[in-house]
A and B are shown apart, each in its own frame.
Chain A
Amino acid sequence: MIFNPQIILEKLPEIGSGLLVTLILWLVGIAGGVAVGFLVATARRFGGRAINLGLGALVEVLRGTPFLIQVFLLYYGGPFVGLMLDPIPCGLIALTVYAAAYYSEIFRAGYAAVPPGHVEAAECLGLSRLQAIRRVQIPEMALIVLPPAVNLAVILLKESAVLSIITVPELTATVSAIGSQQYAFLEAIFVLAVIYWAIVEATGRLGRVAENRLSRLRTANA
């Protein structure tokens, strides 16, 4: 048996369409996850005890169960409660909810890392609570969470491969199908690894560039 990834690369258009689906799932998952996660963290911080505990419990359940199980529950369990979803919407919802749970924790830690004195200074200068949140707490928190947020984005890309099991025609499903057709399973897995790694590497670099650009906005001392 000869190891020949060329067999896989001959199917470039199909790989491209799988890659496109993966990228869309990933980017929409990140955008939705960041938006919902931000709202959850903000509601937990400023919304009072009951909201904090309720949302906190939900986040714990989502973080405490494997993504694979969540996807199965939504896809195969959904119909029992009248939720019939096609693979792609189901995958999108699952990935977004999963991302939101983790992003909300990143934002929660980010809020906690803003020095209370910065908020006190705003208060002393007459800024209202809402103005202090909008002008001081949110921008400072956003800078603090950049590195872990990029890290989570990378994890989400890799988790999106799980969606192949509910027949979402994303990268992993597409390429491993080609591998089966061509009797070149190992080659398929190898090509997959290279593509995922390339995207992760590019994302990491982009994140570092952003961090360097924003580094002057961090407090030097104190």
Chain B
Amino acid sequence: MSLPAIAITKLVKRFGDSTVLQDIDLEIPEGKVSCLIGPSGSGKSTLLRCLAFLEEPTSGMITINGEALGFFEAPNGKRERLPPAQIRAVRAKTGMVFQQFNLWPHMTALGNVSEALKTVHKLPKGEAEARALAQLRKVGLENRANHYPSQLSGGQQQRVAIARALALEPKIMLFDEPTSALDPELTGEVLNVMRDLAAEGMTMVVVTHEIGFAATVAHQISFLDHGRLLFSGPPSEIFAKPRHPRLDQFLDTYLDRGASMLA
């Protein structure tokens, strides 16, 4: 088997006295869609934020394409923080999409997508905007390039946010509940963009409550509960009966939210 896109080993995250993630071991396969599911407070968003290095793990290790993210943990347990340039280089392999979109309100859609190309990659304005426009076309928003976020629907804002992350050509896309802040009728357009992306072979890690999306698009589903990874596997295994009792209990709460086909 080829090198996993992301390897997580013995990951622990504590905030003060409370342990949010406990000994997580997980491999995210290259070119596949991995969904993290679980009840609120299970730690799935924190795990994703650790992958984006927005949270620093308390212990354990994360490697992305074989390269350590943030910290290097020697087999003897000694842990070293890597130099900032190296952290930045490894972080650049991932793109992050947030539940609240987090578009910058003072920039147009085009401005949002081209900003990092200009300030970080130092591309000339024309080239940055041409590349940004191509990304907007990909999410079907070329004709909204000069709109400000306040002039876009939630679904459109999230698609701009996806284009903004894709513009930097990450190897892996991280999605933190990308449709949770959207009206039900706007979730479809965002999920469609994500399906297209999956079909192109992008490695994706998706924290989601869209069980239907997870069941149909994911290659791997990981179920977290109280900071522990209870199990992980392809949807066909995970959803096959008899199911893990905790998963059954969790799915019961979803039966009226699009997961009835699994019942």
Contacts and interface: CB of A to CB of B under 8 A. Distances in A.
Contact of A140 (B96, B104, B151): B104
A131 B88 CA distance: 14
Nearest to A143: B106
Q: How large is the interface on B (under 10, 10 to 19, 20 to 34, 35 or more residues)?
A: 20 to 34
A213 interface: no
Contacts of A218: 105, 150
B100 A125 contact: no
Interface residues of A, number: 25
Contacts of B181: 221-222
Contacts of A219: 103, 105, 149-150
Contact of A124 (B91, B104, B157): B91
Nearest to B154: A221
Interface in B103-151: 103-106, 115-116, 119-120, 148-151
A216 to B, nearest CB: 5
B262 interface: no
Contact of B164 (A125, A131, A143): A125
Contacts of A216: 148, 150-151
Contacts of B152: 220
Contact of B92 (A122, A126, A217, A221): A126
Given A117-B100, A126-B168, 14 more contacts: A117-B102, A121-B103, A121-B164, A123-B54, A124-B52, A124-B91, A124-B94, A125-B168, A127-B120, A135-B104, A139-B104, A217-B148, A218-B150, A219-B149
Interface of A: 115, 117-118, 120-127, 131, 135-136, 139-140, 143, 215-222
